[in-house]
């Protein structure tokens, strides 16, 4: 494999994020947002072809659907997975691995997309509502993508409204089966983390070239662990970049990270 001459940080993150799905087998890979969606498509087209995915509407496709405007009928359906079957077939059955971008994440991997500040009865900022997060988090694998790593996202205390289950012992109601809670990767513009620390603590496993652990810690509201050997995030290959470009013909990935910075080689 050849290493590409030029690439953006976003493209480097897409490659790192695609690793979340490596070897997952036959389950629905859902990437919410441009970068996670490109990462899922890249995973299917490179290391894990058995992954399943939808066109974002109701059809299962074997060729990942490119982002942005296209002909409505360009996608060719191989199967059917409408919302009306989604909980039965993908979520509650555990046959899914979603990568999402929560507004807040805490030390336990609990996330929030519901509201910020204030109270349940009068939030300061109303967001989407919990959507499918409670079910996703207790039934299937989840990963996260954070385009701007900061203390606003990685909060000091618990998230304002716990929309998804994490590893918080205080919320582990006795008798409840939490065995399917399975948080994998958090890919940010600074690093890649997992939940491999003590008692599933968040742990830095990869730093992007030029980023230090201290810098990541400084941008995080809680104490991070460091993997025994922290690796450097690899540069994308020319082949990976070509696939990403094909899946994003309108260049929507340029808007994912502020100012669309260049990626770096070690």
Partner 1 sequence: MNKQLTIEQFVGSLKSGMTIGIAGWGPRRKPMALVRAILRSDLKDLTIVAYGGPEVGMLCAAGKMKKVIFGFVSMDAIPLEPYFRKAREAGGLDILELDEGMLQWGLKAAAFGLPFLPTHVGLGTDVMTHGGFKTVQSPYADGEVLLAMPALKLDAALLHVHRADKLGNIQALGPDTYYDEWFARAADKTFVSTEEVVERMDRSYPEDARANIVERCFVHGVIAAPLGAHPTSMPPAYGWDMKHLKSYADSAREDGGWDRYLAETIGTDEAGYLDRVGGKDAVAALPLPIF
What would the x/- binding string for partner 1 be over residues 174 to 203, using CB under 8 A? xxxxx-xx----------------------
Do the Cβ atoms of 195 and 20 come closer than 8 Å? no
78 touches partner 1 by CB under 8 A = no
C-alpha to C-alpha distance for 163 and 109, rounded to whole angstroms: 11
Q: Which is nearer to partner 1, 12 or 142 (CB)?
A: 142
94 CB burial (10 A radius; 0-12, 13-18, 19+): middle
C-alpha to C-alpha distance for 121 and 83, rounded to whole angstroms: 29
User: Quick one: which of 23, 25, 68, 210 contacts partner 1 (CB under 8 A)?
Assistant: 68
Q: Which is nearer to partner 1, 128 or 262 (CB)?
A: 128
Which region among 15-23, 110-118, 145-153, 224-232 touches partner 1 (by CB under 8 A)?
Answer: 110-118
Q: Tell me which residues in 36-65 interact with partner 1 (CB under 8 A).
A: 55-59, 65
DSSP state of 27: S
Count of residues engaged in binding partner 1, rule: CB under 8 A: 55
Q: Which is nearer to partner 1, 15 or 181 (CB)?
A: 181
Backbone angles phi, psi at 236, to 5 degrees: -65, 155
* Measured distance between the N- and C-terminal CA atoms of the chain, rounded to whole angstroms: 17
Look up residue 155 and give its two tokens: 């909060």
Which region among 96-104, 109-117, 215-223, 239-247 touches partner 1 (by CB under 8 A)?
Answer: 109-117
145 touches partner 1 by CB under 8 A = no
Q: Which is nearer to partner 1, 76 or 172 (CB)?
A: 172
CB of 104 to partner 1, least distance (A): 12
User: Quick one: which of 103, 137, 142, 233 contacts partner 1 (CB under 8 A)?
Assistant: 137
Q: Angle at CA 51, nearest 5°, toward 46 and 55?
A: 100
DSSP symbols for 187-234: EESSEEEES-SGGG--EEEEE-TT--HHHHHHT-SSPPEEEEEEEEPP
User: Quick one: which of 39, 99, 130, 205 contacts partner 1 (CB under 8 A)?
Assistant: 130
Neighbouring residues of 185: CB distance < 8 A, sequence distance ≥ 6:
17, 19, 20, 99, 143, 144, 192, 193, 194
Q: Which is nearer to partner 1, 176 or 262 (CB)?
A: 176
DSSP state of 140: S
User: Quick one: which of 91, 141, 190, 206 contacts partner 1 (CB under 8 A)?
Assistant: 91
C-alpha to C-alpha distance for 44 and 67, rounded to whole angstroms: 15
135 touches partner 1 by CB under 8 A = yes
Residues that bind partner 1 (CB under 8 A): 55-59, 65, 68-70, 72, 82-84, 87, 91-92, 110, 114-115, 118, 120-135, 137-139, 161-165, 168, 171-178, 180-181
């Amino acid at each position: 494999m050849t290493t590409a001459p030029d690439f953006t940080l976003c493209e480097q993150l897409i490659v790192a994020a695609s690793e979340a799905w490596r070897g997952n087998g036959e389950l629905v890979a859902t990437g919410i947002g441009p970068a996670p969606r490109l990462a899922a498509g890249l995973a299917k087209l490179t290391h894990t072809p058995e992954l399943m995915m939808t066109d974002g509407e109701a059809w299962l496709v074997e060729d990942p659907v490119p982002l942005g405007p296209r002909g409505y009928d360009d996608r060719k359906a191989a199967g059917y997975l409408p919302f009306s079957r989604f909980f039965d077939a993908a979520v509650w059955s555990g046959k899914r691995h979603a990568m999402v971008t929560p507004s807040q994440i805490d030390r336990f991997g609990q996330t929030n997309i519901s509201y910020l500040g204030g109270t349940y009865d009068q939030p300061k900022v109303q967001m989407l509502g919990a959507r499918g997060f409670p079910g996703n988090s207790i039934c299937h694998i989840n990963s996260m993508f954070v385009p701007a790593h900061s203390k606003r996202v990685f909060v000091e205390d618990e998230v304002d409204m716990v929309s998804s289950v994490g590893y918080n012992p205080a919320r582990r109601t006795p008798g409840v089966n939490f065995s399917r809670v399975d948080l994998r990767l958090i890919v940010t513009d600074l690093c890649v983390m997992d939940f491999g620390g003590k008692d599933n603590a968040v742990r830095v496993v990869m730093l992007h070239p030029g980023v230090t652990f201290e810098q990541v810690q400084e941008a995080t509201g809680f104490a991070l662990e460091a993997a025994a050997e922290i690796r450097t995030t690899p540069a994308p290959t020319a082949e990976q970049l070509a696939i990403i470009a094909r899946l994003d013909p309108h260049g929507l990935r340029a808007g994912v990270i502020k100012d669309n910075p260049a990626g770096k080689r070690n």
